[in-house]
Chain A
Amino acid sequence: MTLAAIGLGSNLAHPRRQIARARYALTRLPRTRVLAVSRNYLTAPIGTTGPQPDYVNAVAIVDTSLTPRALLARLFEIERRQRRRRDPDGPRNAARTLDLDLLLFSSRRLHAPGLSLPHPRMHLRGFVLVPLVEIAPHAAIPGRGLASRALRAVRNQRVVPTRVHVSR
């Protein structure tokens, strides 16, 4: 009933496999249908100290009758399931292998603890805008105008499609 956009990102533990698993997990969400998923894109991490592997990013459009909160809770659940197992001797906050962001929820605009809609920084992020515009070329971001226009403003960010999908 409501179209939502979800951002997927990973840069640890076989990122493309993480994204592929997350894509599948989205198809199993209750009261939700996946309408489109973008290709995978590679993005070099920006603003990090020390070297980090590239990110793999994608965006999915779903049709859902869940509330934004319920959908977000389900996304956290998927993240949790795919979080790297913690090594008891390792650092306390083991890095997350998967990030799922609720980017858009139709016209919904809200600022609440833990949930802002639309995602407050999505219009600045090439790795969100490129895959979003691939599958939803005419999408608008509430309060920000067209996604394609926002994309033109960040075209200096390097976001390149990966060659193939990992099918699993």
Chain B
Amino acid sequence: MDLSKRRYVVVEGPIGAGKTSLARELALRFQADVLLEQPEDNPFLARFYEDRARYALPAQLTFLFQRVDQLRALTQLDLFRRPTVADFLFDKDPLFARLNLTDDEYALYDKIHAHLKPQVPSPDLVVYLQAPVPVLTERVHRRGVEYEQSMPESYLARVADAYTRYFYAYDDAPLLIVNSERLNFVDDPEHFELLTRRIAAMRGRREFFNLGQSA
């Protein structure tokens, strides 16, 4: 893959899909810059997982401002001068807001969002990592982030479903939909090479990648 032809690549997918690891590996391989979420800098996130109704709004607003700040920093740094791999789409924010906020809260969130008007460039490629909910659950448990351990499978299922619906309608960028169930991009060099070849060969607007499919 020649990442220089794709200046801005986004890895997306539900919690536990392996976004951050893959984004990091791609960046280290192709010497791209990274744009990574900073969940540990969100003081409301741990509390959100304990009491979702109560802390959804502050957690969501914190993420919104964090992303706006990141965008601003990028713009100042001459946006995407170097190829960049991100582990989130800016649209992720309203997606989670719709999922977790009450109607009144969402209306407020929406007003703030509209007011901030984040000017988001379209990626050159989105890699959407899918996996069945039990696989996501198992990965979340395995990575052992303390505040995530109380996350019920039903919540993961709703997140996964929201992503499915979001990407069903997605048409802002070429989309590679990856079934990551039997793929391990970090530990299996073959899986990683297969994926990078698949990305390099991608020509269409929407393609699928499963294990066993030739690159």
Main SS of the interface on chain A? strand
Contact with A along B1-43 (1 / 0, CB 8 A): 0000000000000000000000011011111111110100000
Binds B, one of A10-18, A77-85, A122-130, A135-143: A135-143
Binds A, one of B129-137, B185-193, B207-215: B185-193
Which of B24, B30, B38, B189 contacts A140, CB < 8 Å? B30
Question: A63 in the interface, Cβ–Cβ < 8 Å?
Answer: yes
* B186 and A1 contacting across the interface, CB-CB below 8 Å: no
Chain A: which residue is nearest B85 at the CB level? A3
Question: B73 in the interface, Cβ–Cβ < 8 Å?
Answer: yes
Chain A residues positioned under 8 Å from B38 (CB to CB): 33
Chain A: which residue is nearest B32 at the CB level? A106
* A61 and B24 contacting across the interface, CB-CB below 8 Å: yes
* A107 and B31 contacting across the interface, CB-CB below 8 Å: yes
Chain B residues positioned under 8 Å from A57 (CB to CB): none
Chain A residues positioned under 8 Å from B32 (CB to CB): 106-107
Chain A residues positioned under 8 Å from B74 (CB to CB): 1
Instruction: State which size class the interface on B falls in.
Output: 20 to 34
Chain B residues positioned under 8 Å from A104 (CB to CB): 28
Question: A73 in the interface, Cβ–Cβ < 8 Å?
Answer: no
Interface residues of B in 170-194 (CB under 8 A from A): 186-187, 189, 192
CA distance A137 to B25 in the complex (A): 8
* A139 and B28 contacting across the interface, CB-CB below 8 Å: yes
Give me the interface of B with A, judged by CB distance under 8 Å: 24-25, 27-36, 38, 73-74, 77, 82, 186-187, 189, 192
Task: Give chain A nearest CB distance to B35 CB in angstroms.
Answer: 7
Chain B: which residue is nearest A105 at the CB level? B31
* B28 and A3 contacting across the interface, CB-CB below 8 Å: yes
Which of B24, B31, B35 contacts A1, CB < 8 Å? B35
Given contacts A1-B77, A140-B30, 14 further A-B pairs with CB under 8 A are A2-B34, A3-B24, A3-B28, A3-B34, A5-B28, A63-B34, A136-B25, A136-B28, A137-B189, A138-B28, A139-B25, A140-B29, A140-B31, A148-B189
Chain B: which residue is nearest A108 at the CB level? B31
Q: A107-B31, A148-B189 are in contact. Are A138 and B36 (CB under 8 A)?
A: no
Task: Give chain B nearest CB distance to A58 CB in angstroms.
Answer: 17
Interface centre among A35, A61, A106 (most CB of B within 10 A): A106
Closest CB pairs A-B (n = 4): A107-B31, A139-B28, A138-B29, A136-B28
Q: List 21 A-B contacts (CB under 8 A).
A: A1-B33, A1-B35, A1-B73, A2-B33, A3-B24, A5-B28, A33-B38, A35-B24, A35-B36, A61-B28, A63-B34, A63-B36, A65-B73, A104-B28, A106-B33, A106-B82, A107-B82, A137-B25, A138-B29, A140-B31, A148-B189
Chain A: which residue is nearest B84 at the CB level? A1
Chain A residues positioned under 8 Å from B28 (CB to CB): 3, 5, 61, 104, 136, 138-140
Interface residues of A in 116-168 (CB under 8 A from B): 136-140, 142, 148
CA distance A35 to B38 in the complex (A): 11
CA distance A86 to B74 in the complex (A): 44
CA distance A138 to B32 in the complex (A): 13
Q: A137-B186, A137-B187, A138-B189 are in contact. Are A1 and B34 (CB under 8 A)?
A: yes
Chain A: which residue is nearest B40 at the CB level? A33
* A106 and B31 contacting across the interface, CB-CB below 8 Å: yes
* B187 and A136 contacting across the interface, CB-CB below 8 Å: no
CA distance A137 to B33 in the complex (A): 18
Task: Give chain B nearest CB distance to A106 CB in angstroms.
Answer: 5
Q: A33-B38, A106-B82, A137-B186 are in contact. Are A3 and B27 (CB under 8 A)?
A: yes
